[in-house]
Amino acid sequence: DVWLSNFAFNFNCLCPYGEYRYDEVNLNCGCPSAKVVGKKDADKCFGASLMRDPAHVGECLRRMKEAVDVPVTLKHRLGVRNSDHSTDDSTDNYEFIARFVDTVHELSGVEHFVVHARAAILGGLSPAANRSVPPLRYSEVHRLADDFPALGFSLNGGVETLEEAEAQLASGKLRGVMMGRAVYRMPSILAQVDQRIYGDHHH
């Protein structure tokens, strides 16, 4: 993951990535931690707060793509709100996220979006609460895949078992499912992935 929104930092920090041969570089626009979204200087905020400026995100990604020779992807939420009590949904609705994806793609050429299927609350919730209090909206991730068939979408958030992952992948429209915390809580789940998800029965 790359976190900061400063153009020069993005370019400079990516230079070593080629040396270590990472498979891809990902810009994180999903983290709602107060440490990254609550800085007094708005220009120094990053994480989920970047979603309020899709043109800026697109430019960050464009410069990142110029700096590396591996795919550049974007991780983001379905929207952002200032608090969990806010009634302002202008940056937390399907039309907003569709415009966000379209703008970012047009400006950067990025084609793979990893979508945490809930909004980010930028104030009043801990990172842990931000993974449980905002409701999951899986249908909106699938709708993005329908509306942008030339792009790839991976679904993130709340998927705890391979059965749940298989259910999300069943339509064939998603590029993947992310199971971060489920895997580090139970690493043995990975032993079944090749067989059940990819049909590889040789292990």
List the catalytic residues: 31
How many whole angstroms separate alpha carbon 101 and alpha carbon 80?
14
CA-wise closest residue to 79 among 32, 149, 40, 124: 32
Distance CA 60, CA 6 (A): 8
94/78 Cα distance (integer angstroms)? 8
Residue 194 neighbours by CB under 8 Å, 6+ apart: 200, 203
CA distances in angstroms from 102 to 2, 20, 90, 99, listed in the order given: 21, 31, 17, 5
